[in-house]
Structure 1
């Protein structure tokens, strides 16, 4: 069993309102030669929590941290023009993300909840301050 020390939040870097789903990301990641979707969970704009890679399987979402993390990706993260990073989460996505993180926090109580940009300063992803938003769930 993997020892999970991080829950890493990502955005898909798509325009606000994008209709992408986990199956779309899975197809894209497979086209790159990957085994399957690199994220463990994907949250489309309607707030559905969709399964990606099984949690028991090492992810492919955050270089140097995949072996000990769970990756969650919300669809969006760019403004309407698709040019600038922006927190585009819908209310449904915010609620679903909180619910999923709470569940994962129960399962992995010592895991830090971070944004991709906290581990790779060159990234804007996920376009909001994860550690501040989920301060109440941090170990």
Structure 2
């Protein structure tokens, strides 16, 4: 499936501990094992800040159910502690690379909203807000909108 218009730039985490540095190759293998036809993300940011290309931007991802045809997925490696609990354990290099990648994507898709995977969870109580108790996942373990706004990158 091809993407017709990009409405969202969605930040994810790989749900890996900080000691595990993987990239597109490893995630592709995991996703193929789960029945996907390729790596689900368009970009992966490794622990040292290197950005690896996953799917083409013109191809719908497999990263956020119900929104794949209108979004690009950017995955940060990390996101859980050694016990598998959600943890915002990204490196400064990852945050810098994330900001730079989002700036590039925002230039290409100026109407797209920048948000985290958890922000696309359903609003179960209908109050117009996605509360922590409504998140399907904590991914990416931080408030992407607040981080983006604080960076002054917009």
TM range (shorter): over 0.9
TM-score by length of 2: 0.85
- Residue 24 of structure 1: aligned partner: 26
CA distance in 2, matches of 1:33, 1:118: 25
Where structure 2 has 5 or more consecutive residues not aligned to the other structure, the ranges are 122-134
TM-score by length of 1: 0.94
Query: Does the 8 Å contact 2:99/2:153 carry over to 1?
Result: no
Equivalenced residue count is: 137
1:3 has 2:22 as partner: no
1:108 has 2:109 as partner: yes
Q: Give 1:71 deviation, angstroms.
A: 0.3
Provide the aligned C-alpha RMSD in A.
Answer: 1.2
Structure 2 residue aligned with 1:78, among 59, 80, 83?
A: 80
Moved runs in structure 1, 4+ residues, more than 3 A? none
- Residue 49 of structure 1: aligned partner: 51
- Residue 38 of structure 2: aligned partner: 36
* Larger-gyration structure (1/2): 2
CA distance in 2, matches of 1:17, 1:93: 14
CA distance in 1, matches of 2:54, 2:18: 21
